[in-house]
Amino acid sequence: MIDLSTTYLGLHLDSPLVVSPSPLCQDLGRIRAMEDAGASAVVLHSLFEEQIELEGALLNAELSHGVESSAESLTYLPEMPQYHIGPDAYLEHVRKAKAAVDIPVIGSLNGVSPGGWLRYARLIQDAGADALELNIYYVASDITRASDEIERQYVDLVRAVADTVHIPLAVKVGHHFTAFGQLARQLADAGADGLVLFNRFYQPDLDVENLEVTPSLTLSSSYELLLRLTWVALLFRRVDTDFAVTGGVHTARDVLKAMMAGANVAMLTSALLQHGIGHLGKVRHDLLAWMDEHEYTSISEMRGSLSQRAVRNPEAYERANYLRVLSSYALK
């Protein structure tokens, strides 16, 4: 009997297949379908700092401020009707999701600056969430701010949230850091029970006909997995925290790679948006088939087997392999 079970954030999960935040998670029926299809846990869509702090009558005033001098200022945040669910409704959604399924339900809080909105971390906990994912999405566009100041902001924010809740805390970040390994250690020391690698950086497009900056969102592909695999493999058992791979997980082979790099779980979103929630069942079936064919009896048996600490050529993860990669492509 093949054992797909794993642990993540202190939670015992039936498999490493976790659904990451997306609009799919706004519907209880779809969350039930995720459980039926083989998801071992679900991370709900995010409650945003902006939704909380700009809620109510002040929201439109805040969004409209400065419109006379900069029409683009209105595009920084969506109008209130575009937010599908407000803070109070989000907390109720957490309660209903917990009552609807038996798998762990992880709340998601998206913010970047310490403030009064942090009380919602505790409210999400009190609503019944099994864990909390703090999604830090920040573009360092202020050229007067030094990198160490920005990293300190991340660490201070994680520490503030960790001091606020007693449920497990995962932290989802991007990869744009000079020394990400050191930051990962600092985040773990500050209270992150898990690191979710990586947040995708959504870059706007330019409309040359209408002279506008337009939102742009493309779903991930398996190729994006490589960056995640590299960092999990580098940090496995060097930073005392759990790891979740998100971005680029589409197939059973992607899940296998994540596990062998050292991840605890592999998170899917784009694959479900492309192929439907039932795709989870196919990934699980293919995962079991591959493990059976290759005589693996458990996920724990393979976890970290291709991390930097375990492979015969650990330099392949670092610059020593740089020249070899560049010279490996031959023109046909």
* Residue 332 is assigned to a structural domain of this protein: no
pLDDT value at 217 more than 80: no
Inside any domain, residue 269:
yes
**Beta strands in the chain, from DSSP E residues, in sequence order:** 6-8, 11-13, 17-19, 41-48, 105-110, 131-135, 169-173, 194-197, 205-207, 212-214, 242-246, 265-268
Q: Where are the alpha helices (DSSP H) in 54-145?
A: 58-64, 87-100, 119-126
| Number of domains making up the chain | 1
pLDDT tens per residue across span 267-292 = 999 999 999 999 999 999 999 999 99
Confidence at residue 286, expressed as pLDDT on a 0 to 100 scale: 98
| 136: alpha, beta or left? (left if phi > 0; alpha if psi -120 to 50) | beta
The CATH number of whichever domain residue 236 belongs to comes to 3.20.20.70
Residue 245 has pLDDT above 50, yes or no: yes
pLDDT score of 68: 43
Q: What count of other Cβ atoms lies within 10 Å of the Cβ of residue 239?
A: 20
Q: Kindly state whether residue 331 falls inside one of the protein's structural domains.
A: no
> Does any domain span residue 267?
yes
Mean pLDDT to the nearest integer, 40-50: 90
Band the pLDDT of 116: cuts 50, 70, 90. low
What domain range is 126 assigned to? 6-326
> In this structure, is residue 90 part of a structural domain?
yes
Residue 52 confidence (pLDDT): 73
Structural domain contains residue 1? no
Residue 13, in any domain of the structure: yes
Rg of the chain (C-alpha set) = 21
Mean pLDDT of the chain: 87
pLDDT given at position 56: 45
